[in-house]
Amino acid sequence: MEREPIGVIGAGYVGLVTAAGFAELGHEVWARDIVPEKVEALRRGEVPIHEPGLSELIRGTSERLHFTTEMPDVLERARLLFVCVDTPPTYSGDADLSRVEAVLAELGDSSEHALVMKSTVPVGTGRSIQRRRDGIGYVSNPEFLKEGSAVEDFMKPDRVVVGANGGSEEYADRVAALYEPLGAEIVRTDVASAEMIKLASNAFLATKISFINEIANVSEELGADALEVARGMGLDDRIGPKFLQPGVGFGGSCFPKDVQALKQLAGNTGYHFQLLTAVIEVNELQKRRTISKLQKHLGPLAGKEIALLGVAFKPNTDDVREATSLVLAGRLAGEGANVRAYDPVTGHKAEGMLAGAAIADSALEAIDGADAAVLVTEWPEFAELDWTGEVKRRMRVPLVVDGRNFLDRDALVEAGFTYEGIGR
């Protein structure tokens, strides 16, 4: 295998996994981040985010994996620069590209380097950069990593997308070659299509979730069980079983942002993307439906003690961006309820974000004396609690809203709990 020195710009989720992944494949990697404390910690082998397997990978590849705050360190050694900086949403829903622009500014008018865009950017970004920077090498290489399984997703991708136009084809060959050892299908295409593949994939998955959430809501009224429905639907090859789990809505740093961004991009061209408008609205309503489930059993929530189990937007991550827990805590506070939240990984980091909720040090502490427990994140330890013994004894009212259909419903009901799942 040809060894290619690699530059990675931005050491967040995507950058760290990309950097460590390529180092694992045998390449020398220079990863640059502008936050000095982060770079120092990484040099000591301390990883600032919770991502299974990542610390081990970073420590195991430390000979080939170098961290720096200085752009010239990277530019001197690598020609391919994997851009992994944040592109957060602005108020309008468009993506904020200021960090990508900052990278461009630092690159100056170098004609020796190629940008390999991993950050999620609006369709058209690559073309606009190439137009402004005549002759710049540019490859679109969107990432499809899921937080919580990012290392595995890097090593075993479903597909790798490599988009390039005209003069950048040679760079695209080199990028494609880097991924060849992974054995996945490599989709070679143009830049705009590569950019669209990323946004359309996330928008489609989000649509699948909002769809099954609506099926769940209707199933509750009509007496069907949405889990049975999803199982029966998922066996159809054309539908597939994944991303058909009804729940308290999708969160995270990607789906809400990317669905909004695609809708906005369409809108900017004068096209009203009706379906995505509905996907977003369904998700917002879904995040709030728990409140009426609690009211159905408890009446007005003022003064009630509510335990929130899980703060992270999904298990195996400490990420709370766009998490349903934040919306629920806000709504519960608005109703006058007292909320105690517990998460095994975010811990006290979430303090202050949860609208005045107290943060408990354990699930049992959160549940103690509660009028209801709401499971927001399906952390394995929540299934292992002694629900029918210790938990039941500690709760004032044995009411559970299982926002991820994660607990053993039959056992809980048999033990005298009032159980509310999603779509059952």
The set of catalytic residues is 254
Element (H, E) at 342: strand 338-342
402 lies in the site for ligand UGA, by CB under 6 A: no
Nearer to ligand UGA, 138 or 255 (CB): 255
Nearer to ligand UGA, 145 or 395 (CB): 145
One-character DSSP codes across 64-108: TEEEES-HHHHHHH-SEEEE-----B-TTSSB--HHHHHHHHHHT
375 lies in the site for ligand UGA, by CB under 6 A: no
Contact characters 306-345, ligand UGA, x per CB under 6 A: -------xx-------------------------------
> Can you tell me which of 60, 89, 243, 280 binds ligand UGA, judged by CB under 6 A?
243
> Can you tell me which of 7, 247, 403, 423 binds ligand UGA, judged by CB under 6 A?
247
In the complex, what is the shortest distance from the CB of residue 231 to ligand UGA, in angstroms, rounded to a whole number?
A: 13
Bridge partners (DSSP) listed for residue 402: 375
Element (H, E) at 262: helix 255-268
In the complex, what is the shortest distance from the CB of residue 96 to ligand UGA, in angstroms, rounded to a whole number?
A: 16
CA geometry: angle 351, 282, 273, nearest 5 deg: 115
Handedness of CA 56, 57, 60, 62 (dihedral sign): negative
Bridge partners (DSSP) listed for residue 81: 7, 115
Structure tokens at 291: 């409140």
Nearer to ligand UGA, 7 or 252 (CB): 252
Helix ranges (H only) for 111-254 are 125-132, 150-155, 169-179, 191-222, 226-234
Report how far residue 126's alpha carbon sits from residue 282's, in angstroms, rounded to the nearest whole number: 32
Q: Which stretch binds ligand UGA (CB under 6 A): 64-72, 104-112, 183-191, 244-252?
A: 244-252
> Can you tell me which of 61, 141, 202, 405 binds ligand UGA, judged by CB under 6 A?
202
4 lies in the site for ligand UGA, by CB under 6 A: no
211 lies in the site for ligand UGA, by CB under 6 A: no
* Interacting residue ranges for ligand UGA, rule: CB under 6 A: 120, 143-147, 202, 205, 209, 243-245, 247, 250-252, 254-255, 258, 313-314
